[in-house]
Chains A and B, each alone.
Chain A
Amino acid sequence: DTAVSQTPKYLVTQMGNDKSIKCEQNLGHDTMYWYKQDSKKFLKIMFSYNNKELIINETVPNRFSPKSPDKAHLNLHINSLELGDSAVYFCASSRGTVRNTIYFGEGSWLTVV
């Protein structure tokens, strides 16, 4: 069973569209994250939720809105997509604080055309 699963794996969409990426973890973790990996492969945190509460919100455009319906799910909704949003988005989870190991999903490849 996949520990951290995200869908879709690939997404091609036009500028201006709204899209969502879903994430679920079955590890029993209470903290979930969204990371963005750009074309240079640099991995950077976007958001973190602990027990459904937002604890990290990096300088991300407010077109990006995370939603955590419960501890096992963290979805990412993106409004008015722009070309620069093209990247790989990784969902991740951990138990408690960042001092504990973070486990990543397989990634969602978003291409905005």
Chain B
Amino acid sequence: EDQVTQSPEALRLQEGESSSLNCSYTVSGLRGLFWYRQDPGKGPEFLFTLYSAGEEKEKERLKATLTKKESFLHITAPKPEDSATYLCAVAQGGSEKLVFGKGTKLTVNP
């Protein structure tokens, strides 16, 4: 049973076409929700951490939001260099494990 589900699996956008990626989770006692970016042949690169419902974080064209059941990564006016796989991960109460979703592969065409 997946604890972290990301959708869509793949997303293709035109440059400047804003959209959102979804991460839904079923863990209890959320200790933190993390967003990472992974480029081909590279390790995951940290983007954001969210700890409580209602929290929002922004960085350049990216904005992450959190509710009690899911998180969204909003991409505003994306550029080709935003193309990557975006990974969501959660840390749950009573565990030292970070559980990852399967990621959303984003492609931004010029």
Known: A41-B102, A98-B31, A99-B91. A90 touches B44 (CB 8 A): yes
A99 to B45, CA, bound (A): 16
Interchain CB contact under 8 A, A102 and B34: yes
Report chain B residues within 8 Å CB of A106.
Answer: 42-43
Closest Cβ neighbor of A91 among chain B residues: B43
Closest Cβ neighbor of B103 among chain A residues: A41
Interchain CB contact under 8 A, B96 and A98: yes
A44 to B91, CA, bound (A): 13
How far in angstroms is the closest Cβ of chain B from A39? 12
Interface residues of A in 24-58 (CB under 8 A from B): 40-45, 48, 50, 55-56, 58
Known: A41-B85, A99-B32, A102-B34. A56 touches B96 (CB 8 A): yes
How far in angstroms is the closest Cβ of chain B from A5? 10
Closest Cβ neighbor of A102 among chain B residues: B98
How far in angstroms is the closest Cβ of chain A from B109? 21
Report chain A residues within 8 Å CB of B71.
Answer: none
Interchain CB contact under 8 A, A90 and B43: yes
Report chain A residues within 8 Å CB of B42.
Answer: 106-107
A-B contact pairs, 29 of them (CB 8 A): A4-B43, A41-B85, A41-B102, A41-B103, A43-B44, A45-B97, A48-B96, A48-B97, A50-B96, A55-B96, A58-B97, A90-B43, A92-B43, A98-B31, A98-B32, A98-B98, A99-B32, A101-B49, A102-B34, A102-B46, A103-B46, A104-B36, A104-B44, A104-B45, A106-B42, A106-B43, A107-B41, A107-B42, A107-B43
Chain B interface (Cβ < 8 Å from any Cβ of A): 31-32, 34, 36, 41-46, 49, 51, 85, 87, 89, 91, 95-98, 100, 102-103
